[in-house]
Structure 1
């Protein structure tokens, strides 16, 4: 099945991919640094009229919860990673390295960067899980 990114169905499929990923299970095995929120910035040109928030409750290599969240809950996550729609598409497709994107200001991150750098392999594995979800991207 193919899911529109972002949607509740896509987020549920993303959670399933995370929880069946041996790579993420290993790379995130010691993660206790807090929840993660992906912020997909609004893009009215493709029909995304408001920012979208994908909230992930991650712990020890598992995704305990994945959901769309309101802005105030999203802001409370230990890590908030924001990017425009096209950047998320590139990240999930493996066309953009997250470290490079961060260094070039193509994504913004709120949270302890030292901790995030320690878990960069887990972050890349999360993005790969997103890339494994059969996705339809708006505007294509």
Structure 2
């Protein structure tokens, strides 16, 4: 199924994919965090989801309260997100070059980098336009 880039449908597809993936269940371990993906123009939207008990739960468009309460807010311009999800840009390099910014506990993010990297890889497997 093809979904629209920069929409809640993309994140719902990601949650469905990961929740049926036994490798994700193994990699996610004790991951219990809320994450916001912030898109710059022309999308200009925030999406929130929670990683809990080896599942991705409650993906939705984020409210200001969701953003404030999130463990991590990961921000990038829409074209950067597209390039990351298409596999044309390495997310670690994008982070190092300041094209992707993270608000939150960086040590915690790095500690769970294997799981978060797997999330990005899964997003790259979603068919989108």
TM-score normalized by the length of structure 2: 0.90
Give the distance between the partners of 2:105 and 2:111, measured in 1 at CA.
10
Contact in 2 for aligned 1:11/1:68 (Cα 8 Å)? no
RMSD: 1.5
TM-score normalized by the length of structure 1: 0.84
State the match for 1:124 in structure 2. 117
- Aligned match for 1:101, one of 83, 94, 116: 94
Contact in 1 for aligned 2:41/2:77 (Cα 8 Å)? yes
Give the distance between the partners of 1:21 and 1:94, measured in 2 at CA.
20
Q: Displacement of 1:89 after TM fit?
A: 1.0
Number of paired residues? Answer: 129
- Aligned match for 1:68, one of 45, 61, 73: 61
Q: Displacement of 1:83 after TM fit?
A: 0.4
Contact in 2 for aligned 1:38/1:80 (Cα 8 Å)? yes
Give the distance between the partners of 1:77 and 1:93, measured in 2 at CA.
26
State the match for 1:36 in structure 2. 35
Unaligned regions of 5+ residues in structure 1, if any? none
Deviation per CA, 1:80-117, whole angstroms, max 9, x where unpaired?
00001111112112222222211110100011111111
Question: Once superposed, which parts of structure 1, at least 4 consecutive aligned residues long, lie more than 4 Å away?
Answer: none
Contact in 1 for aligned 2:11/2:59 (Cα 8 Å)? yes
Unaligned regions of 5+ residues in structure 2, if any? none
